[in-house]
Structure 1
Amino acid sequence: MLLIRCPYCQMERPEAEFKYGGQAHLTRPDPNSASDAEWTDYLYFRANPKGEFGERWRHSAGCGRFFNCRRDTASDRILATYKIGESRPAAG
């Protein structure tokens, strides 16, 4: 089981208290000018790398807030967690 540190609560808690929210740092296309292909890309296609990956999580059984996380998908190790709006921590 993963132990995830919520950057708002400042506590490390079991993964069961959190909900995965998908890939982090996605930019929503402008609905007034985006093509069908751009919307399809945004809605359905995500990166699936082996190694460091930016994710969004929600502390559903705690403060209820979304935050970002850097996780190594090969080792399942949490590298960093940080608040929405904060700069992405440097890669390790």
Structure 2
Amino acid sequence: MRITCPLCGDRDRREFYYQGAAVALERPAPEAGAEAWDDYVHNRDNPAGVTRDLWYHETGCGAWIVVTRDTRDHAIHETALARDVTGRGA
């Protein structure tokens, strides 16, 4: 898989570190209980289709990048610097 860094251009995905979904998780209240905290810490959605993920260009420029891709075929639809997508659901 190739990822286009907005600063460095087209790169192999091995230059990047995958952080996870580019949406904030809703943190349970401190008194929510063990089941709510277990779910928050251990469970994540695993959608089939278009997702927005946060990647770090670890061996390149050090930028945080939001990658919009399809998990079914890994086709990348868009990449953008994370600082530029703040306020658009990232």
The bucket for the TM-score relative to the shorter chain is: 0.7 to 0.9
Mind listing any 5+ residue stretches in structure 1 that lack a counterpart? none
Q: Write out the 4+ residue segments of structure 1 that deviate beyond 6 Å after TM superposition.
A: none
Mind listing any 5+ residue stretches in structure 2 that lack a counterpart? none
Q: Which of 37, 40, 43 does residue 39 from structure 1 map onto?
A: 37
Cα distance change, pair 41–14 in 1 and its aligned pair in 2 (3 A): same
CA distance in 2, matches of 1:30, 1:50: 26
Cα distance change, pair 20–35 in 1 and its aligned pair in 2 (3 A): same
1:62 matched to which residue of 2?
Answer: 60
CA apart distance, 1:41: 2.3
CA apart distance, 1:28: 4.8
The structure with the greater share of residues assigned to helix is 2
2:14 matched to which residue of 1?
Answer: 16
Cα distance change, pair 41–54 in 1 and its aligned pair in 2 (3 A): farther
How many positions carry a matched residue from both structures? 87
CA apart distance, 1:48: 0.8
Name the Cα RMSD after superposition. 2.3
Q: Secondary structure at the match of 2:11?
A: strand
Q: TM-score, structure 2 length as denominator?
A: 0.76
1:6 matched to which residue of 2?
Answer: 5
1:51 matched to which residue of 2?
Answer: 49
Cα distance change, pair 35–70 in 1 and its aligned pair in 2 (3 A): farther
| Residue 26 of structure 1 pairs with residue 28 of structure 2 | no
CA distance in 2, matches of 1:88, 1:77: 21
Q: Which of 82, 85, 88 does residue 84 from structure 1 map onto?
A: 82
